[in-house]
Structure 1
Amino acid sequence: MSDVAQQLPAPLQEPEVTPPRIRSGSSVWIWALALAALAVAGAVVALRLAALQRELRAVQQRSEEVSALHASDVAERQSLQERMDSTVRRTEQLEQQLTLLAGRDTAADAELRRLREEHVLTEVDELLTLAGSQLQVVRDPNAAIAALASADARLARVPRSQFFALREALGRDIERLRKVPVVDVTGSAIRLDRLVQGVDSWHFLADPTRRLAAAPAPKPRSEAAPPARFGWIGTELGDTLRELVRIRTAEAPDSLLLTPEQHPLVREHLRMRLMMARQAILMRNQVLVRADLGDSMAIINRYFDTSDPLVGAAVTQLKALTTAAIDAPMPTLDDSLGALRAARPTTP
């Protein structure tokens, strides 16, 4: 029987059919790998979202602490202003009393002069304390200059030779304070407010609606080499593919995995960082300002498209605010305090 099969011509033999098991098996593996990759990507995104939520809670807690510190500073400044107002009222009352006493009896002129000098020195002491508080707590040289100028005006009302050295010391301290560099804290806070308002208009790296920058224009045909026969077909195909496919480099590939639902969370996190930097600027805390601005620039460079003109301008402003000095050293009032101690009469 086998001899007969061997003698049959080739067209009458049955062709061998290979089972398509290998191809179906490879398809199953491909689908399995694809599902595994999607599961890993989903796990990475879930872990990143949980980390961002924890960091957002920490930032909110820190913002509450900064707000409490700012509220305490405002309360202290109000207390200082109330002390100054009470001092002014007490001065007016004492001046009225001194005027009444001066008109009653000329024999008590010496005592009245002594009381008035003591009162003026007490008032100058209060104003110097207020000026020192303005320098150390509020770090406002203009308010300190106003307090020292008010003290000098009080001394000018009592022309005594023992007050000349004190007035000279006040003048030197005023000139020293006028040379202190002025820090535009309000302007820096306003710039951060504008950045906070513009966060919603910035584009993400993972934004599918964001169009990439235009590709460089090809060389003019007059400058390029003359194409060969039918070479223009390849040139046209190359230009078309170059317009369809763009390649860009991302420093953090996981930033491209952000879903549109996660975009508001990242924007809110960035907005909180900028607001904390604003609070630190108002507190004149250089360390906190640089830390918060550095975190803000790290978030922008990681998740946002820096080729966007708005994002690029924001990064430039943040760099300028980081390098700006908001905590200039304040001079002391040691000369005026020493002259005040020397001007006080010695008690036997």
Structure 2
Amino acid sequence: MMYDYLIVGAGLFGATFAYRASRQGKRCLVIDKRPHLGGNVYCEQVEGINVHKYGAHIFHTSNQEVWQFVNHIVPFNRYTNSPVANYQGRLYNLPFNMNTFYQMWGVITPDEAQRMIEAQKQEAQHQLNGGEPSNLEEQALTLVGRDIYEKLIKGYTEKQWGRPCKELPAFIIKRLPVRMVFDNNYFNDSYQGIPIGGYNKLIDGLLEGVETRTNTDFFADRNYWEGVAEKIVFTGKIDEFFDYRFGQLEYRTVNFEQQTLDTPNYQGNAVVNYTEAQVPYTRIIEHKHFEMFGQQVYDVPRTVISREYSMEWKPGMEPYYPINDERNNQLAEQYRQLAHDCPNVIFGGRLAEYRYYDMAPIVEKVLKMKIE
């Protein structure tokens, strides 16, 4: 065996594992079928701007160990995620807070806002006649009422999942943050930010001194790759690893329409969600706002935006989000049982575990792993 670990996939899980294993003296090889390292956190430089090629990635955590670890690799900036929702040309702050309620109803005190929400929640609960919500629409109406649901949840959610809210399970939206304060910070975590210089700096730091190969597909010569290392760390699709034995898992994917514009500041914010169903894209990302603040925005004369279109995944597309409905969850559990019987393979990440993960929990999971 030439290596202790073959790591299939150079995303955050694979790169963090390679960092830890190599520093314990393990011989690691990281391969990725894409032409670059970094997986979905990869950034491309356009007009001096780090463009998040596979969608916005905002690192946030309350775990001090995780925060110190990533900042040890590359310092992070002070970016605070404060998205805005655009509904029929009117703007609303997210998450739902006193700014949102003022924009929605003109209320200026928490008591006024609470009364508006409670009245609409009671109406929704009355419609259920004592029953439990059976779908996402009913669940949302009982949590925040009709006005917020119709303007800020319904259209966006249906675009994201490609299904009417009445056909989506209630558990998808069991909790909705409602803040009775004027606070537009989307996350409740203690720490958040973007690596200074972009996510490529983080990945390059994690993989420094580790052998890597891009444009290399594990499945194109599986027999060879399974023979080069004592153990495999697999971060691809778990159903593909087992040759789709029980059938294919389903995913949502995202198509990005990127534009470079002759203006230094297109929308004044990194993230603007478009929540009405008639607008085909879910949001517009203006990438420079992740790393440029104040006058820095105008020091770079052009800007880059990406419109995001959510759609059903098909073979040949990049899978992004697992679809956590009953059918897929049962199928995924069958594959996880097969994974338990593979002592020399470590399955990690969104695709290999068929679970939705933010970045920080991925890092935390790898930091807790015992590497032998």
* TM-score range relative to shorter protein: under 0.3
Richer in helix (by share) = 1
TM-score, normalising length from structure 1? 0.22
Richer in strand (by share) = 2
